[in-house]
Amino acid sequence: MSSFREDLEGWWIGRVFSNWIADEGAQIELEELGTQVSFLKERYKPSELPLDAPEEDCEDLMEDSVFIRQIRAVTDSERRLRNAQKAFLRAKVQRSKWVREHRIDPTELESFDAGLKDRWEAYHAGECDSLSSDPTPDEMIATGRTVLRWAETSEVPIRATRSVYLTSGSYHALADGLEVGWHPQFSNLFGFEE
């Protein structure tokens, strides 16, 4: 696996360089090398997916995105919008990196998304059921805000890897395709049939 090799080579070069600077020569103990290899083996074992996507800058890049419009339908918090954008981009970068590095099959990500949709459906339906038979616009917004907060803080594992940004960002990607939503009438608000 090229990433394993690259990480090991990077560590090796860093250690050699720091030893030369410290005037200790280029010698590295076999035990230290073994420890690093063991660390990397754990990091790259099939049940683990490394979370190494950097936080992305998102200055007003996605204002017209459906997922941003969905958030604006239930809250006017700029902080929540920025957090959603960061999670969306970071999850997208991380998922793409896993596929590109052959760490995960795209069908496994599709199954992960299907599981997220099932969880959302149960939670959204439960929240909508708690509304009165003729809810006010403010009550529907409050319900949508509750569902959004749930999606923002959920942490659903993929294999043995857990991350709030990965789950939240994946929910925002699903919301961008109107596969999930926050407001009880999100599909009608955006001109689609549920």
pLDDT digits (tens, 9 = 90+) for 50-100: 888 777 666 566 788 999 999 999 999 999 999 999 999 999 999 999 999
Arithmetic mean of pLDDT, 6-27:
74
Residue 26 pLDDT greater than 70, yes or no: no
pLDDT at 141: 97
Q: How far is CA 10 from the centre of its chain?
A: 27
Q: Are 66 and 191 in contact (CB under 8 A)?
A: no
The two tokens of residue 135 are 């809810």
The two tokens of residue 120 are 């959302």
Query: Band of the pLDDT at 194, cuts 50, 70, 90?
Result: very low
pLDDT at 12: 73
Which amino acid would we find at residue 44?
Answer: Y
SS3 76: coil
Q: How far is CA 44 from the centre of its chain?
A: 19
Instruction: List the end-to-end C-alpha distance of the chain, in Å, as a whole number.
Output: 44
